[in-house]
């Protein structure tokens, strides 16, 4: 669902609601969020058709155990459920990405995540069902199409009984869902049990997960796992941006062990603390899809920082590639480190010192120190020159020659500095940064939303007996002209070259992804309005003036419309499709019996 801004055109089909007076810090209970008609669906009727392992598959692709073999190196030892399929290339990626680099020195338990390309275009039997659940998800929480996430719980402890002297093993959850906080919480329950009880524990966990309801946006879910009960709410695209949809506790919650306030958000303040003087510049770099590399001491800090960067332009979806943890063994290593062409639009998180040399030609490098020392005030006032980055041991900071389009916002820096001096809780600092990014993104995107809404045809131009009207094309010059009166200056105190920032953004993958999504939504809205206009017509009276051939043609076209509406989940008013079915039936019954039999026959796929 797109972020919406104010619109003054009274006759337009789509009138975005006013966001200017939204209080991004407000908290509304999850129970108060109601989905629009048709959203959410009937849980019982949907899930009645699910087969064994379908519920599991709606959350996870599989669970892997990756161990270290002295002769083979990292190897996938176990895959649960056993029928889960992974290509050899996918297994290799999981093996290398599930262990920290040897220089990281991660003793004890470490949690991090990675993201890798799907090796083959396998189709799920749940395809249509998952599209329905995905429809109501916010852009940043939609399922990945060509990538998997790996959520890792890595354990390394001394063990003199082993030749290597250490026990090293990772439990990895493979999923299409970007629910990083949720899956890390699941691993905190599952992994210690697994390391103690081994495989029977995995089988029990998979059976528990296969009894969970599907992750449908807007629902409050109670999820039992290994004797622990987790309560979560999956956000929807209809939630007010910036609000925390708290899961309310009830009397029946006496069995609930964990209530998660978020399923996906990372602690922005902890991640950006080493470079918080530069958060506004980092927001610009992410917005514009610039090539960025994060050099960190461990996979945990690398993956958290990359995820924080990707989320800083929320509710816009980051549309380029990003790798929370990237190694020299990755199948895209050569593609992303070549010097024969400009670095691609990607954000990489790395820990291997080798990357300090391999990626030194990249235009923007963020060096993150140990986040455990986050209590200290970092000396990070100046952006450092790239030539000063020789090794991974260089001081924390941002190494780039980039000159931001917008003037620096000194207020947010003072606010964060004051919080550090007064030892303000990290959660409060995190809320300040999250709200700052949200307001900055909203100020930037509202003029685009306003202009795109003006491309919608007027509702009076929709005729039931003509094809739905087309959206007018996006014209960059026309959009730029609107900025003088209705630009970001209406909602942001920041000065600078906003025009230059928009020009650069319009060439970026993020604009392309955002506009494709908006155009698809608006086209579906036009199709829905056209369908509703058809339903208001007296079709029986109309066919009396036409031949049988024309009546049959009308029935076939209406059936096509019905199929499209169901397949694309068009946002029609409640009762529209049942009304259309009744119209089709009435037209068929007005035809001779032989034609009725043909038209009532089920269509062959």
Query: pLDDT (tens digit, 9 = 90+) per residue, 229-257?
Result: 999 999 998 888 777 665 555 555 667 78
Classify the phi-psi angles of 227: left when phi > 0, otherwise alpha if psi is within -120 to 50, otherwise beta. Answer: left
Q: Which helix (H) or strand (E) holds 358?
A: helix 354-358
Tens-place pLDDT, residues 294-347: 999 999 999 999 999 999 999 999 999 999 999 998 888 888 888 888 889 999
* pLDDT at residue 342 in the model: 85
**Regarding predicted confidence, which is higher, 234 or 34?**
234
| Nearest alpha-carbon partner for 267 in 307, 316, 325 | 307
Average pLDDT score, the chain: 82
Residue found by looking up tokens 């598959």 in the block = 57
pLDDT confidence bin for 144, thresholds 50/70/90: confident
- Angstrom distance (rounded) from CA 579 to CA 556: 16
How many Å apart are CA 397 and CA 355, to the nearest integer? Answer: 16
**439-450 confidence digits (pLDDT tens):** 999 999 999 999
| Across 193-197, 385-389, 586-590, least confident range | 385-389
**Residue 288 — pLDDT band, cuts 50, 70, 90?**
very high
Q: What is the mean pLDDT of residues 138-167?
A: 87
Residue with the bigger pLDDT between 249 and 262: it is 262
Q: What is the pLDDT of residues 85-136, one digit of tens each?
A: 999 999 999 999 999 987 666 788 999 999 999 876 666 556 555 666 778 8
Instruction: With beta carbons less than 8 A apart as the criterion, state whether 269 and 429 touch.
Output: yes
> pLDDT band at residue 472, thresholds of 50, 70 and 90?
very high
Task: Say how far apart CA 217 and CA 34 lie, in whole Å.
Answer: 11
Question: What DSSP designation does 52 have?
Answer: T
Return the domain boundaries, the chain.
43-259, 537-600
pTM comes to 0.85
pLDDT at 31 over 60: no
% of the chain residues with pLDDT over 70: 82
Per this entry, what is the length of the chain? 605
Residues contacting residue 587 through CB under 8 Å, at least 6 positions apart: 539, 540, 543, 551, 554, 555, 558
Distance of CA 218 to the CA centre of its chain: 15
* Better pLDDT: 30 or 520: 520
DSSP E strand boundaries for 324-447: 346-350, 364-367, 397-400
pLDDT band at residue 14 under the 50/70/90 scheme = very low
Helix (H, G, I), strand (E, B) or coil at 117: strand
- The maximal CA–CA distance of the chain, rounded, in angstroms, is 91
Confidence tier at 592 by pLDDT (50, 70, 90): confident
DSSP state of 478: H
Closest CA to 298 of 336, 347, 337, 352: 352
d(CA 459, CA 532): 12
Q: Say if residue 224's pLDDT is above 60.
A: yes
pLDDT of residue 458: 85
pLDDT(544) > 80? no
Instruction: Tell me which long-range contacts 513-519 makes (C-beta under 8 A, separation of at least 24).
Output: 513/317, 513/319, 514/2, 514/316, 514/317, 514/319, 514/445, 514/448, 515/452, 515/474, 517/2, 517/139, 517/317, 518/2, 518/449, 518/452, 519/471
Q: How far is CA 263 from CA 232, 290, 571, in A?
A: 7, 27, 27
Pairing type for strands 346-350 and 321-323 reads: parallel
Q: Which fold has domain 43-259?
A: Beta-Lactamase (3.30.450)
Tokens 């450092």, residue located: 384
Residue with tokens 């780039």: 400
């Amino acid at each position: 669902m797109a972020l919406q801004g104010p619109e003054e055109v009274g006759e337009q089909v789509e009138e975005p609601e006013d966001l200017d007076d939204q209080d991004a810090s407000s908290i509304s209970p999850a129970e108060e969020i109601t989905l629009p008609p048709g959203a959410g669906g009937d849980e019982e009727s949907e899930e009645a058709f699910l087969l064994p392992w379908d519920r599991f598959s709606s959350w996870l692709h599989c669970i892997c155990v990756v161990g270290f073999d002295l002769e083979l190196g990292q190897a996938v030892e176990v895959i649960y459920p056993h029928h889960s399929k992974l290509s050899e290339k996918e297994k290799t990626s999981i093996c290398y990405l599930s262990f920290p680099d040897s220089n990281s020195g991660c003793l004890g338990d470490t949690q991090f995540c990675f993201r890798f390309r799907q090796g083959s275009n396998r189709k799920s039997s749940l395809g249509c069902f998952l599209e329905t659940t995905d429809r109501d998800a916010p852009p940043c929480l939609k399922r990945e199409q060509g990538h998997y996430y790996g959520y890792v719980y890595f354990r390394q402890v001394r063990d003199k009984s082993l030749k290597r002297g250490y026990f090293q093993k990772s439990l990895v959850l493979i999923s299409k869902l970007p629910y990083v906080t949720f899956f890390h919480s699941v691993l905190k329950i599952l992994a210690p049990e697994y390391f103690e009880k081994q495989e029977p524990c995995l089988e029990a966990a998979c059976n528990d997960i296969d009894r969970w309801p599907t992750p449908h946006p807007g629902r409050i879910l109670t999820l039992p796992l290994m004797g622990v009960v987790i309560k979560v709410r999956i956000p929807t695209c209809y939630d007010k941006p910036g609000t925390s949809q708290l899961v309310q506790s009830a009397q029946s919650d006496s069995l609930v062990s964990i209530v998660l306030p978020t399923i996906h958000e990372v602690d922005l303040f902890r991640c950006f603390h080493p470079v918080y003087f530069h958060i506004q510049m980092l927001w610009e770099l992410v917005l514009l899809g610039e090539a960025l590399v994060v050099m960190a001491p461990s996979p945990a800090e690398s993956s958290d920082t990359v995820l924080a960067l990707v989320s800083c332009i929320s509710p816009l979806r980051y549309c380029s590639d990003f790798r929370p943890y990237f190694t020299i063994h990755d199948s895209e290593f050569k593609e992303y480190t070549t010097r024969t062409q400009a670095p691609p639009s990607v954000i990489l998180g790395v820990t291997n010192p080798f990357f300090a040399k391999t990626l030194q030609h990249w235009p923007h490098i963020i060096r993150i120190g140990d986040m455990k020392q986050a209590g200290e005030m970092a000396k990070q006032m100046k952006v450092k020159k790239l030539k000063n980055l020789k090794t991974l041991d260089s001081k924390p900071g941002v190494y780039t020659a980039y000159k931001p389009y917008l003037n620096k916002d000194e207020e947010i820096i003072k606010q964060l500095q004051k919080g550090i001096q007064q030892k303000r809780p990290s959660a409060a600092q995190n809320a300040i940064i999250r709200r700052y990014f949200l307001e900055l993104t909203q100020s930037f995107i509202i003029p685009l939303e306003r202009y795109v809404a003006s491309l919608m045809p007027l509702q009076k131009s929709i005729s039931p007996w003509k094809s739905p009207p087309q959206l007018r094309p996006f014209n960059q010059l026309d959009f730029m002209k609107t900025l003088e009166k209705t630009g970001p200056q209406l909602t942001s105190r920041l000065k600078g070259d906003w025009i230059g920032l928009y020009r650069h953004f319009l060439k970026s993958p993020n604009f392309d992804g955002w506009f494709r999504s908006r155009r698809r939504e608006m086209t579906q809205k036009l199709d829905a309005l056209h369908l509703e206009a058809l339903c208001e017509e007296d079709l029986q009276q109309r066919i009396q003036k036409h031949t049988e051939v024309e009546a049959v043609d009308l029935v076939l076209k209406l059936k096509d419309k019905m199929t499209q509406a169901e397949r694309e989940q068009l946002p029609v008013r409640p009762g529209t499709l049942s009304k259309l079915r009744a119209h089709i039936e009435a037209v068929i019954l007005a035809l001779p019996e032989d034609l009725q039999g043909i038209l009532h026959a089920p269509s062959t796929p």
